[in-house]
């Protein structure tokens, strides 16, 4: 079908990095594909996950997987382009504790997505963004208000963990006029 589901090995590694269980919170699963990451987050204690994907078939699969797992009541599923989805979530004042970014590797848009998430104030202080991409591509240590915590490679896949840190100028240690 053209989706590239996160392998079980990578999914297990992601959750061992971000914590095996959650005490509530909201997650956003952009480029949801089959919904595997978001559904796993729900099964580990997230209160709610918002799934988005631009492909009709992916949205149908996510809905079916939620139905099978009995987690439909804790989820919202939308068919939308990632950037439009972020804009729509901002209009609703959504703030996430966890964000999954797994775009098709060829798009190379993780930096742009993280900047928009920060600009739209979609992340709570300390929120974690999990970005999956081709291991040959490097991402900066800092992207807007996101600071990289860790990068781990699994074959051709790299997982980057970023934390949202909304720092004020006086906290940066710079002098101001």
170: pLDDT strictly greater than 70: no
Two structure tokens written together for 115: 């900047």
Question: pLDDT class for 4, splitting at 50, 70, 90?
Answer: low
What's the CA dihedral at 102, 42, 141, 156 to 10 degrees? -40
CATH topology of domain 24-154: Rossmann fold (3.40.50)
177 burial class (0-12, 13-18, 19+ CB within 10 angstroms)? Answer: exposed
Which of 14-23, 41-50, 75-84, 109-118 comes out lowest in average pLDDT?
14-23
52 burial class (0-12, 13-18, 19+ CB within 10 angstroms)? Answer: buried
Distance CA 157, CA 152 (A): 8
**For tokens 């807007």, what's the residue?**
144
Q: What is the pLDDT of residues 110-146, one digit of tens each?
A: 999 999 999 999 999 999 999 999 999 999 999 999 9
Question: pLDDT class for 11, splitting at 50, 70, 90?
Answer: confident
At a CB cut-off of 8 Å and minimum separation 6, what does 144 contact? 114, 115, 118, 119
Two structure tokens written together for 110: 């993780």
Q: What is the pLDDT of residues 57-89, one digit of tens each?
A: 999 999 999 999 999 999 999 999 999 999 999
- The pLDDT, as a whole number, for residue 169 is 38
- The pLDDT, as a whole number, for residue 1 is 45
Q: What's the mean pLDDT in 153-167?
A: 92
């Amino acid at each position: 079908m053209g989706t590239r589901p996160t392998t079980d090995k990578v999914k297990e590694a992601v959750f061992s990095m971000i914590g095996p269980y959650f005490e509530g919170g909201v997650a956003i699963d952009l480029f949801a594909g089959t919904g595997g990451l978001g559904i796993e987050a729900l099964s580990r204690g997230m209160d709610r996950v918002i799934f988005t994907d631009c492909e009709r078939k992916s949205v149908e699969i996510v809905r079916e997987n939620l139905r099978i797992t009995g987690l439909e009541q804790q989820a919202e599923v939308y068919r939308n382009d990632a950037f439009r989805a972020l804009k729509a979530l901002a209009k609703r004042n959504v703030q996430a504790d966890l964000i999954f970014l797994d775009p098709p590797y060829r798009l190379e848009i993780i930096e742009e997505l993280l900047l928009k998430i920060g600009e739209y104030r979609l992340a709570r202080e300390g929120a974690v963004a999990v970005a999956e991409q081709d291991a040959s591509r490097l991402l900066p240590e800092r992207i807007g208000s996101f600071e990289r915590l860790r990068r781990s490679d699994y074959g051709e896949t790299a997982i980057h963990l970023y934390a949202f840190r909304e720092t004020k100028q006086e906290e940066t240690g710079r002098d101001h006029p």
